[in-house]
Structure 1
């Protein structure tokens, strides 16, 4: 199963968008699945349904950090290279989908009160028909698998 398929399967099982991406790569980033789910749990719905940065993008960046990140605050070259990779990865997602912002990807207008609740949406056939989230999760996993985690 490809990482795209694995991430989409996790999302359809009820994990949020960020969890689905991080979970698909938990073995690659050498973190147990439960810890991966806990770390990424706050970032679904554009950070706790605030509709900011898409959870799939946050998930991609978490995977990059755990795989290629730096831990020495004085390692300027490592930090520079990491930020370059982060911007490139997010850029690939934006190029494919038009944005990295959840509300823009979903076509929501927060001024009209669309999706301003902390209550997650029920996962139903209608949910999957009107939301591009399954495909966005797949796109994020595919970008990671194709360009960064081989």
Structure 2
């Protein structure tokens, strides 16, 4: 199964957009899935369902850090991480016109949204582009970080 397919499977099983992207890269970087899911839960729905930056796009940044950051005390890798974030985000924006969750969903970005997530039904999946965005972010991360990922 491809990472894109696994990310869709994670999303359909109840994980949010950010979790569904980061989750498929955990094994590649020795990150345990449970910890990653806890750390990325707040990014869903455009950061806590505030409909700001798409959680899948934020997750590309997290994966960039997983690949490029040396961590605390290991030298400054921010320029490399930030550069990769710009590259991947620019590609997503080029394809979709925005990185803002509300705009991707066709919602008013000035509306204050409830923190409570919607029930996951077939209608939920049909009315939003989230699966497409998740799959695209996984693909962009794979392409942009291929030298840091195992083959296959």
Instruction: Answer yes or no: same fold by TM over 0.5.
Output: yes
1:8–1:20 CA contact under 8 A, matched in 2: yes
Q: Which has the higher helix share?
A: 1
Report the count of equivalent residues. Answer: 147
Which residue of the partner structure matches residue 125 of structure 1?
Answer: 122
Q: Which runs of 5+ in 2 are unaligned?
A: none
Q: Deviations over 1:69-96 (max 9, x none)?
A: 24357955x3222211110011111111
Q: Does residue 1:84 correspond to 2:92, yes or no?
A: no
Q: Secondary structure at the match of 1:142?
A: helix
- Conservation of the 8 A alpha-carbon contact between 2:67 and 2:145: no
- In structure 1, the gaps of 5 or more residues are none
Larger mean CA deviation between 24-33 and 11-20 belongs to 24-33
* Distance (whole Å) between structure 2 residues aligned to residue 84 and residue 5 of structure 1: 27
Local SS of the residue matching 1:35: helix
How much does 1:147 deviate? 2.2
Question: Which residue in 2 is equivalent to 1:61?
Answer: 61
**RMSD of aligned alpha carbons:** 1.7
Deviation track 1:15-42 (CA, whole Å, cap 9, x = no partner) reads: 0000000101110121011011011011
Distance 1:70 1:21 in 2: 21
TM-score by length of 2: 0.89
Structure 1 length normalisation: TM-score?
A: 0.90
The answer on whether the counterparts of 1:70 and 1:79 sit within 8 Å (CA) in structure 2 is: no
Displacement of 1:3 in angstroms is 1.1
Paired residues for 1:100-115 under 5 Å: 100-111=99-110, 113=111
